[in-house]
């Protein structure tokens, strides 16, 4: 397996994990008011985890775009017209 394929797999998996962590912590932050009314607390580390996971996701997204730029260009390119 080539180095680029291994790098793409690592970047894609890291990006997925970062987005899942950001989504879960964001949901916890969203419902923290409701949870507080029920007598529970969201751990104070959750906003920090959310922030750092978001920054990781942003950075890895840029790398992901760079690694897959040609594929992305082909997705948005105009189709070539059929020749007669």
Which of 22-26, 28-32, 67-71 is predicted least confidently? 67-71
Domain locations along the chain:
9-76
| Confidence (pTM) | 0.77
Calculate helix-pair angle for 69-76, 46-67, nearest 10 degrees: 80
CA dihedral 70, 55, 21, 25 (to 10 degrees): -140
pLDDT category, 3, cuts 50, 70, 90? confident
């Amino acid at each position: 397996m080539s180095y680029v394929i291994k790098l793409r797999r690592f970047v894609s998996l890291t990006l997925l994990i970062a987005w899942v962590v950001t989504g879960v912590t964001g949901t916890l932050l969203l419902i923290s008011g409701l949870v507080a009314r029920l007598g529970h607390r969201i751990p104070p580390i959750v906003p920090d985890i959310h922030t750092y996971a978001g920054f990781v996701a942003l950075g890895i997204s840029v790398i992901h775009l760079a690694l897959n730029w040609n594929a992305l260009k082909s997705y948005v390119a105009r189709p070539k017209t059929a020749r007669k």
